Amino acid sequence: MNIITYSPAYTIVPTYECFNRCTYCNFRTEPGQSPWLTIIVAEKFLKQLKNKNVCEILILSGEVHPQSSQRLEWFQRIYDLCELALKMGFLPHTNAGPLSFAEMQKLKQVNVSMGLMLEQLTPELLKTVHKHAPSKLPDLRLQQLEWAGELKIPFTTGLLLGIGEIENDWWETLEAIANLHQRYHHIQEVILQPHSPGNQQSFNAPPFDPNQLPEVICKARQILPSDITIQIPPNLVKDQQWLLACIAAGARDLGGIGPKDEVNPDYPHIQEQELKEILQPAGWELVPRLPIYPQFDSWLSEELQTLVKQWRKLSSCLCGEKIVFETPRHKDTK
């Protein structure tokens, strides 16, 4: 049976506050309008996850301006949350917007992988949806991918489809990802995320046409090196047949699945059992994975490698129950 992977994950949000004002955003709050997550409260959340087969803790944060007096406190909170997750036996993955080289270097100590969506590299969006979003400068975000490669950080990135870009922008962004990966071999996954309107956004545009998604995936599979996995969020592909069509086109991962999609709160995650009921009749087996793919384990510190090995050992013990927490090698070709 063919394999589709996902990460059993729980999302922790240090703050929803963000100095960017992307018009399609359904996540952010204005700076000063919501409390930051404390370590004490986070620990209570994590204790409730024990023995629930959650592996990945996604640290997903709104952004504090690099020149803000709160930047150091914000970064320290993220670091402390990652450290807490590790101490409690989980594997952290951080996505907190563009970081400095030094910040990325420090977070590598307490993360098994990290991520940042490129969204689209066209500067045209700086005139529209990113007009009031300083950290969405294309060169700034592309720099993150390069630094991740230099630092040997296993990385996830992706495209947001349907925010005002044109078709050629998709291919140019994918080619930029492919070029950096060919230099550093550090990109684990590329997410292809269709714009799905939410209640909080001011961007007045229809959802990305799901009929186009399999075609985009097919072309992306041709552009990206074969060792990069294409990921799609199944809660944003509502039609079951189109979800299967996306998989047939080359998508092989369904991302982190937990209680809530923080980025798209209007679209609840499809949970494991329901996904299995969709996939199995079509010949696909849904398999959990770690937030770090096996070929990157040696990039980690000894401490992190030890924890990852424990999870991989657990996978071999529980493989009879299909809780394998492993990333199968796929045979997609360019």
Q: Are 153 and 186 in contact (CB under 8 A)?
A: yes
Locate tokens 């140019």: which residue? Answer: 172
Global confidence as pTM: 0.94
Q: What ranges do the domains of the chain cover?
A: 2-321
Q: Which residues of the chain have pLDDT under 70?
A: 315-334
Task: Give the separation between CA 19 and CA 65, rounded to whole angstroms.
Answer: 6
CA 330 to chain centroid: 19
Q: Compute the residue count for the chain.
A: 334
Q: Which CATH architecture has domain 2-321?
A: Alpha-Beta Barrel (3.20)
Q: What is the pLDDT of residue 317?
A: 56
Write down the pLDDT at residue 238. 79
Calpha distance 89→50 (Å, rounded): 9
Distance CA 332, CA 218 (A): 11
* The pLDDT value given to residue 258: 92
| CA 36/CA 15 separation, integer angstroms | 5
**By CB neighbour count within 10 A (0-12 exposed, 13-18 middle, 19+ buried), where does 208 fall?**
buried
**3 state SS for the chain:** CEEEEEEEEEEECCCCECCCCCCCCCCCECCCCCCCCCHHHHHHHHHCCCCCCCCEEEEECCCCCCCCCCHHHHHHHHHHHHHHHHHCCCEEEEECCCCCHHHHHHHHHHCCEEECCCECCCHHHHHCCCCCCHHHCHHHHHHHHHHHHHHCCCEEEEEEECCCCCHHHHHHHHHHHHHHHHHHCCEEEEEEEECCCCCCCCCCCCCCCHHHHHHHHHHHHHHCCCCCEEECCHHHCCCHHHHHHHHHHCCCEEEEECCCCCCCCCCCCCCHHHHHHHHHHHCEEEEECCCCCHHHHHHCCHHHHHHHHHHHHHHHHCHHHCCCCCCCCCCCCC
Quick one: pLDDT at residue 314? 84
Q: Which of 236, 243, 92, 119 is nearest to 173 (CA)?
A: 119
CA dist 110 and 84 (Å) reads: 9
pLDDT at position 151 is: 98
Which pLDDT value is given to residue 134? 96
**Per-residue pLDDT at 284:** 97
Please give the Cα distance from 129 to 136 (Å, whole number). 10
Q: Give every CB contact of residue 60 below 8 A, 6+ residues apart in sequence.
A: 11, 12, 13, 95, 96, 262, 263
Alpha-carbon span 193 to 162, nearest angstrom: 9
Are 225 and 181 in contact, with CB atoms under 8 Å apart? yes
Q: Is the dihedral of CA 50, 51, 52, 54 positive or negative?
A: positive
pLDDT digit string, tens, across residues 154-186? 999 999 999 999 999 999 999 999 999 999 999
